[in-house]
Amino acid sequence: MTIQASYHFPRGFLWGTATAAHQVEGNNTNNQWWEWEQDGYTDGKSGLACDWWGGRWREDFDRAAEGQQNAHRLSVEWSRIQPTPDTWDEDALEHYRNMLRGLRERGMTPMVTLHHFTDPLWLGDGWETGAAVSAFEKFVRKTVEALKEYCTLWCTINEPNGYALNGYVNRGVAMFPPGKNNTRLAFRVMAIMVRAHAAAYHAIHDIQKEARVGYALNYRSFVPYRTWSPLDKLSVKTAFNALNIGFPSALATGVMHSPLGSIKVPEAKGTQDYFGFNYYTRDYVTFDLRKPKTLFAHNFFAKDADLSDNKFIANEPEGMFDGLKWIVRMFPNLPILITENGIEDADDHMRPRYLAQHIHQIWRAVNFNWPVKGYFHWSLVDNFEWERGWTQRFGLWGLDIETQKRIKRPSADLYAEICKENGLTSEMVSKYCPEAFEKLFPV
C-alpha cells in the first residue's frame, strides 16, 4: 500500500531564501570583513562573490520567483551606504531601492536585514565602547527612510550572539574579527548590540508605523549526552545560557542574562514584533573536567549523526521543534519567522532530506497553532561563508566562482514544489528523498 499524504501550511505563509550583502554582492572593500580576508583569516576571499553589485541579483531573483518563492531576506551593506561618518552614498541607496523594487515586481515580499556581521572600517571599536549605538541608529534612520516604500519587514541585527561570541571568544582560533579572546568583553558587546537594536526598533517605528521589526537569533539546540546525569544537565544549561539566552532575555525582561551575570537594558523590553529564528543543528553535551575554557562543557554530534560535507552540521530536525517550543513558552503569541535554516552540501545528496525533515518539524509546530509565519532557506545560491570562505556550499543553486555560472541542484526543484504546494507531500518525499519517507510518513 502506497501512502499518499500531505502537510499543508496556513494561507499567506512566507516561503523564501536568505542572503547577506557581503556574501553575495562582491567587492565590499570598506568593511572589517574585507580587511579580515586580506589579513589571511578566511579560507579564500570573497572577491566578486555572486556579483550582485554588478547586477546579477536580477537573474537570481528570477530563479527564486520561478521557484515559486514569495519572499526573500537580504541585507544592506552599511559601509556602502555610509562610506565615512559624514557622507551618504545616494547611489548605493538607489541600488537597494532597485533590488527591493525588483522583488516587488516579481511578487515577492522583501525582508531587509540592517546589520549582517559587517561594519564600516570607520566604526572601529564602536561595539566595544558603545559608540556604535548612536551610529547605528543614524544609519538605520537614513536607510529605512530611503527604502520604506518597498519594505515593511525589518531585521535589525543578524545573530548578535554569533557576532559577539565568534569575535571575542576565539577558543584558540580567531574566527570573526576583531579576533579577541575576552569573554567578559563579548557579553559587553552583546549588551551594546541589544541597546542598538532597541534604538533601531524605535527609530523604524517612528518612520514607518506599519513596520514589523525584529532581529535574528543564532539558536543552537543542546541536549544532555547522559540524560540521567545532573552534571550533563548543568553543562547543557551553561551552554544554552552562553549562546541562546542573552538577547531574548533582554527583550523579554529588560535584563540581559549571561553566565557572567546580568546587565540591565530596560529600553530593550518588548522591542520585537516577531521572533527571528536561525536554526541549523543540535549538540550533545557532557560535563568534562578537561574543558575549563568552555566551563567544563564538551559539545559533540551524535556518533551516528547524519553529517554535512565538512562535518559542520548534523541533521537534527527535532532541534527545530524544540527551539520553536522554547520561543512559544518565552514569548506567547509572538509571531515567529524562521530566518535561516540550511546545510552545506555540494553534491546535494543530503539537502533534500534535511529540508523535508525540518519543514515537517515546522509543520508540527504550526499544527499546535504556534504562530510560525514563514521560512527562509539558507541560501538561494552558494555564497562566501565568512571565515570558511568557499569551502561550504549552502545554495539551492550552485556557483562556479570563476565563471559566475549558476548550477541548479535537485533541492531547488524540491523547494519549488514545496513553495507551490504550500506544503510537503508524500509524492515529493518519494521523488527527492525516499530514504526519509518512513520517518516523515510512518505507516
Q: Which is more confident, 119 or 293?
A: 119
Cell numbers of 418, please?
Answer: 514545496
Do residues 394 and 343 lie in contact, with contact meaning Cβ atoms separated by under 8 Å? yes
What local confidence, expressed as pLDDT, does residue 183 receive? 93
**What is the pLDDT, as a whole number, of residue 412?**
98
Report yes or no: 140 and 200 within 8 Å, Cβ to Cβ.
yes
pLDDT value at residue 92: 98
Mean pLDDT of 338-342: 99
Cα separation of 14 and 109, whole Å?
8
pLDDT at residue 170 tops 90: no
Residue ranges covered by each domain of the chain: 6-440
Give bridge partners of residue 155 from the DSSP assignment.
Answer: 113, 214
Is the whole-model pTM more than 0.95? yes
- Mean residue pLDDT of the chain comes to 97
Strand-pair category, 336-340 with 297-300: unpaired
Quote the strand ranges of 248-315, DSSP E: 255-258, 261-264, 275-287, 297-300
Cα–Cα distance, 301 to 280 (Å, whole number):
13
Looking at residue 2, what is its pLDDT?
A: 65
- Angle 132-147/183-207 helices, nearest 10 degrees? 30
Helix (H) or strand (E) holding 338: strand 336-340
Residue type, 297: A
How confident is the model over 367-393, as pLDDT tens digits?
999 999 999 999 999 999 999 999 999
Q: How confident is the model at residue 357 (pLDDT cuts 50, 70, 90)?
A: very high
**How many angstroms separate the CA atoms of 299 and 332, rounded?**
30
pLDDT band at 295 (very low <50, low <70, confident <90, very high): confident
Phi and psi dihedrals of 70, rounded to 5? -110, 10
Residues 87-111 have pLDDT tens digits of 999 999 999 999 999 999 999 999 9
For domain 6-440, which architecture applies?
Alpha-Beta Barrel (3.20)
State the chain's maximal CA–CA distance in angstroms: 69
- Closest by alpha carbon to 158, among 382, 332, 326, 376? 376
In the predicted structure, residue 1 carries a pLDDT above the cut 60? no
User: What digits encode the pLDDT tens for the residues 144-154?
Assistant: 999 999 999 99
Q: How far is CA 382 from CA 153, 179, 219, 238, 398, in A?
A: 24, 25, 22, 34, 5
When computed from its CA atoms, the radius of gyration of the chain, rounded to whole angstroms, is: 21
Q: Which run of H or of E encompasses 153?
A: strand 153-158
Q: 394, 401, 400: which is closest to 379 by C-alpha?
A: 394
Q: Is residue 37 scored above 70 in pLDDT?
A: yes
What tens digit of pLDDT does each residue of 171-206 get? 777 899 999 999 999 999 999 999 999 999 999 999
Q: Give mean pLDDT, residues 341-360.
A: 98
Q: Identify any residues that bridge with 217 across adjacent strands, giving them in sequence order.
A: 277
Q: How far is CA 277 from the centre of its chain?
A: 7
Q: Is the dihedral of CA 354, 355, 360, 366 positive or negative?
A: positive
The whole-number average pLDDT for the span 285-306 is: 91
Q: Above pLDDT 90, what percent of the chain?
A: 96
Ranges of beta strands (E only) in 36-122 are 71-75, 109-113
Q: How far is CA 236 from CA 163, 227, 270, 300, 306, in A?
A: 21, 11, 27, 12, 21
Dist CA 412 CA 326 (whole Å): 30
